[in-house]
């Protein structure tokens, strides 16, 4: 899992959305829509779980729109950044939260699709 280090402005905290540059973050590999990431605000020393909502490709860079989720502790962030799939085969807390987030997004997508179908 990738960690993005960004000082969050008051506006970003209210809107729960953030734009980041692949180049500025120094990412080794690209992020995919729906991928879970961590956001660390070094100024406030806070960690948040987040998901990649959109990707925009440009000639010299790639931009990502990140939807910021709930705040987590530094210990939870360390657990999320640790390799997944423990030797005992149990899911980590981070993996469970990621699955629940994916389920919630899927439910919203299905609800929106049904509303569109009913409108026509």
Sheet with 62-72: list strands edge to edge: 2-5, 36-41, 46-57, 62-72, 17-21
At 37-66, the pLDDT tens digits run 999 999 999 999 999 999 999 999 999 999
Q: Which two tokens stand for residue 69?
A: 């989720």
Q: Which pLDDT does position 119 carry in this prediction?
A: 85
List the one residue out of 119, 65, 76 whose CA is nearest residue 98. 76
Within 10 Å of residue 64's Cβ, how many Cβ atoms?
25
> Is 0.75 surpassed by the pTM of this model?
no
Q: How far apart are CA 2 and CA 77, in angstroms?
A: 11
Helix (H) or strand (E) holding 17: strand 17-21
At 80-99, the pLDDT tens digits run 887 655 556 666 666 777 77
Q: Which pLDDT does position 89 carry in this prediction?
A: 62
């Amino acid at each position: 899992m990738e960690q993005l280090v960004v000082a969050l402005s008051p506006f970003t905290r209210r809107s729960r959305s953030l734009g980041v540059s692949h180049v500025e973050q120094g990412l080794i590999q690209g992020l995919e829509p729906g991928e879970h990431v961590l956001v660390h605000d070094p100024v406030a020393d806070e960690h948040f779980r987040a998901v990649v909502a959109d990707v925009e490709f440009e000639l010299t860079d790639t931009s990502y729109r990140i939807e910021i989720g709930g705040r987590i502790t530094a210990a939870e962030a360390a657990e999320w950044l640790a390799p997944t799939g423990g030797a005992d085969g149990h899911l980590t807390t981070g993996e469970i939260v990621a699955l629940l987030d994916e389920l919630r997004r899927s439910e919203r997508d299905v609800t929106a699709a049904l509303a569109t179908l009913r409108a026509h």
